[in-house]
Every structure is written in structure tokens, then in C-alpha cells.
Amino acid sequence: QKEVEQNSGPLSVPEGAIASLNCTYSDRGSQSFFWYRQYSGKSPELIMFIYSNGDKEDGRFTAQLNKASQYVSLLIRDSQPSDSATYLCAVNTVKGGGADGLTFGKGTHLIIQP
Amino acid sequence: DAGVIQSPRHEVTEMGQEVTLRCKPISGHDYLFWYRQTMMRGLELLIYFNNNVPIDDSGMPEDRFSAKMPNASFSTLKIQPSEPRDSAVYFCASSYGLPQQYFGPGTRLTVT
């Protein structure tokens, strides 16, 4: 059974600091890794995806993947109050040229304190 | 471009009634996914289609749930009969053959 684990939080971070969100997954066949942001009452919004070991940067966001440790993380630099949301980690077994259903963690609630 | 469209946005029904949720994927996307989100279980995949064909329905909770995709621009998720434990937010998502998926606004279903 595929499982994705996240600390539910809340994770409280001061404005301007780095927020670090973590995720572990059980299926070693997982190939694609995603971070979605979900505001209360809204739908999940894709913010980052990563396929290869290492770091991937996009603006203030950095996704980190370590397949040997089955670990994915998301760093948010210069955190803003608008970053306050629930962050969902998701994985699937497809890398490209196709799609598959995503397995989601239950999310980490992030609060950025002004 | 319009995103994924779902209707209705809110549905309140009584136990035993039939409920039909609707989804229009992003134009050109060839994968369509139905997910359900609850506080207890989080976001779970119910079923997905590729080119209108159901590929994996292992997440459909029981025979009361059924889904169809008669064409590339429309899908339905039906619950008959509905039960209070079906209360959740149901999301439709679509993809253009890559793992990234884009979600609709969701339908909040309340079964009393």
C-alpha cells in the first residue's frame, strides 16, 4: 500500500524566515513528486514538482528529493503571510509520457506569523 | 484558458437520494481524475480516465459509486443511494499526459 506521510502541524514560522516542509513516502517505485498548496475552502494548487534527486528551485520555492531516503522536502524562502496554507505532498509512479493517480499526504498546516 | 470546471459547487441531499457531480476538464487534456477529500482520510483517488476510458477504479469505495466519461469534455460521478458518510469535497483534476494534474474548484457534498 502506497503511503505518504507528513507532519500535520501547525508549523509556525516568522515572516521573512525559511519554512521547511517534509514528506516521506513508502513506495520505492515512486518517480514523480509534487507539492500542492491548498488554502482553506479552495482546491489544491500545484506549486512544484521534481523527478530527480537533488534540488529544484523556482522563485522562493525549492524542492529537494532524496530517493535513497524516500524523502521529499519543500523550502519556502522569505516566507510571507500569504504563504499560510496547507501544503500537500503527492507522489506517483509515472515520470513522463503518461499519468497516474496521485497518492497524497494529509498535509502540513503552515502559519506565517507577521 | 478556462480551468477545470465542476458543478454543482455545493450539494445538499438527503440520505438515499441520487447525487450526480459533473466535471469539464481543461481542453486538450487526455487524463481526468476524480478525488475525494475528507478531514479523516485526506485526499484520495477514486477513479481516473485516459482518452475517456476508465483506467483505474480501485479507489471507488463501493458499488454505490459510478463514473462515466462519454466524451473528452465531460465526466460524471454518481452516487446512488447516497449516505451521510459520503459527505466530502469531491475534486476533478485533469492532465495532458504528464504527471502534473490541475484541480477544479470542487463540489462540497453534504448528505443528511
A50-60 pLDDT tens trace: 999 999 999 99
Cβ atoms of residues B69 and B75 within 8 Å: yes
C-alpha cell at A67: 530517493
The answer to whether residue A114 neighbours chain B at the CB level (below 8 Å) is no
Q: Which residues are CB-contacts of B72 (< 8 A; sequence separation ≥ 6)?
A: B25, B30, B51, B52
Averaged pLDDT score across all residues of chain A:
93
pLDDT value of position B2: 83
Query: What distance in Å separates the CA atoms of residue B104 and residue B102, rounded to the nearest whole number?
Result: 7
8 Å CB contact of B50 and A99: yes
The answer to whether residue A98 neighbours chain B at the CB level (below 8 Å) is yes
Q: Mean pLDDT across the stretch B41-50?
A: 94
Query: What distance in Å separates the CA atoms of residue B72 and residue B34, rounded to the nearest whole number?
Result: 15
pLDDT value of position A97: 58
Q: Which residues are CB-contacts of B40 (< 8 A; sequence separation ≥ 6)?
A: none
pLDDT value of position B100: 82
pLDDT confidence tier of residue A95, bands split at 50, 70 and 90: low
Residues on chain B bordering chain A, Cβ-to-Cβ distance under 8 angstroms: 31, 33, 42-45, 48, 50, 56, 59, 91, 95, 97-106
Query: What distance in Å separates the CA atoms of residue A36 and residue A48, rounded to the nearest whole number?
Result: 7
pLDDT above 90: percentage of residues in chain A: 82
Averaged pLDDT score across all residues of chain B:
95
How far away is chain A from the Cα of B74, in angstroms, using its nearest Cα? 19
Per the rule left: phi > 0, alpha: psi between -120 and 50, beta: everything else, A57 is beta
Tell me whether strands B31-38 and B88-95 are parallel, antiparallel or unpaired: antiparallel
Cβ atoms of residues B110 and B14 within 8 Å: no
Cβ atoms of residues A34 and A47 within 8 Å: no
Given a cut of 80, whether residue A99 has pLDDT beyond it is no
Beta bridge partner(s), residue A105:
none
Residue found by looking up cell 469531491 in the block: B90
pLDDT value of position A56: 96
What's the residue count for chain B? 112
Residue found by looking up cell 498546516 in the block: A109
Query: What distance in Å separates the CA atoms of residue A51 and residue A33, rounded to the nearest whole number?
Result: 6
Mapping DSSP to helix (H, G, I), strand (E, B) and coil, where does residue A39 land? Answer: coil
How far away is chain A from the Cα of B21, in angstroms, using its nearest Cα? 16
pLDDT tens digits for A30-89? 889 999 999 999 999 999 999 999 999 999 999 999 999 999 999 999 999 999 999 999
Given a cut of 70, whether residue A11 has pLDDT beyond it is yes
DSSP, res A41: T
Q: Mean pLDDT across the stretch B7-25?
A: 98
DSSP per-residue letters across B34-85: EEEEETTTEEEEEEEEETTEEEE-TT--STTEEEEEEETTEEEEEESS--GG
pLDDT value of position A93: 77
The answer to whether residue A111 neighbours chain B at the CB level (below 8 Å) is no
